[in-house]
Amino acid sequence: MDYIIAFLVGGFICGIGQLILDLTTLTPGHVLVLLTVIGALAGGFGLYQPFLSFAKAGALVPVTGFGASIAKGSLLEAERTGIIGLFRREPVLSACLQGHLSSQGKAWQ
């Protein structure tokens, strides 16, 4: 059943992206950024994790999952080092690593 749910949810997300491409004048780059930002916002507000628990890989594999993972990593890094820590030399690498590890249920110290 997990495979069917993942397939349907992932297909739905990709279908939305295709509809945006077909019905608007946005380029694929614009749609990529749009879906990444939507995922980041949903992840930042804590809405993506329940969706991810339901859809599993269907929500993780599309680019929205990448956006949510980056947002989660950024929030964890801000929690660990303070908001000023996000402006250090290596904040992007730190946030990416933190997001990747947290998506696997691990923590980085």
What pLDDT, in 10s, does the model give residues 18-52? Answer: 999 999 999 998 998 898 888 888 888 888 888 88
User: What is the predicted pLDDT for the residue at 88?
Assistant: 63
User: What is the predicted pLDDT for the residue at 51?
Assistant: 85
Q: Is residue 108's pLDDT more than 70?
A: no
The conformation of residue 18, written as its DSSP 8-state character, comes to: H
Asked, for residue 31, whether it belongs to a domain, the answer is yes
User: What is the predicted pLDDT for the residue at 85?
Assistant: 61
For residue 92, give the H/E element and its range.
Answer: helix 91-103
User: What is the predicted pLDDT for the residue at 20?
Assistant: 94
CB distance 54 to 4 below 8 Å: no
Q: What is the Cα–Cα distance from 75 to 78, expressed in whole angstroms? A: 5
Asked, for residue 38, whether it belongs to a domain, the answer is yes
Q: What is the Cα–Cα distance from 72 to 101, expressed in whole angstroms? A: 10
| Boundaries of domain holding 42 | 2-103
User: What's the pTM?
Assistant: 0.69
Asked, for residue 108, whether it belongs to a domain, the answer is no
Asked, for residue 109, whether it belongs to a domain, the answer is no
In this structure, of 3-7, 19-23, 102-106, the range with the lowest mean pLDDT score is: 102-106
What is the tally of structural domains in the chain? Answer: 1
Asked, for residue 83, whether it belongs to a domain, the answer is yes
Q: What is the Cα–Cα distance from 70 to 82, expressed in whole angstroms? A: 17
